[in-house]
Amino acid sequence: MKNNVQQATLGGGCFWCVEAVIQRLKGISNVVSGYAGGKVPGHPTYREICSGLTGHAEVIQFDFDPNIITYAEILSVFLTTHDPTTLNRQGADAGTQYRSVIFYHSAEQRGQAEKVIEIVQEYYENPIVTEVSEAPTFYEATQDHQDYYNENRQQGYCRVVIDPKVKKLRDLYGHLLA
């Protein structure tokens, strides 16, 4: 993957949910949960992010090989495994830290994001409110937030919130799974 690798940064509510979905796709590597897009300088803590006062979103950053999975395919999965029509909310998680966001790393990614949103919009009754912004500084979350679903599948949040997203992924995108 070294010659073809590209980077992507996405946020769609709790980073544990987005991480669990994206890391199951073929062509994906180096999935890291963290924070981006805030107004407060320096490396924020989880507690600061949860306050909603820093402006950071919970996101994942990862590498992908576009010869195996396209950015458009990744964005289609992303936009259909969380609710991109709710502003600053995913289920019970509310606040700007849980906003739906695509942080693009190139003009090409920006264009693809805008096109995929336009295509996917026809499947939703309400307007998609996913933010599309240039990728800012990414701050890695602490180790206890990494690979959370795989390490904690019996935990209540994983069973009630993440399991249905992983099932939806399998049902809709089985052909893209690793």
DSSP 2: T
The sign of the CA dihedral 163, 91, 122, 80 is negative
- DSSP code at position 177: B
Contact 114, 79 (CB under 8 A): no
Distance CA 19, CA 57 (A): 14
Start-end of H helices in 37-162: 46-51, 71-80, 107-121, 148-151, 156-157
Which of the following is catalytic: 14, 17, 50, 158? 14
User: Minimal CA–CA distance to 138: which of 28, 43, 19, 22?
Assistant: 43
- Distance from C-alpha of 104 to C-alpha of 108, rounded to nearest angstrom: 8
Give the C-alpha separation, 51 to 167, whole Å: 31
- Tell me the C-alpha distance between 126 and 119, whole Å: 14
Tokens of 152: 């904690």
- 50 classed as catalytic: no
Catalytic residues: 14
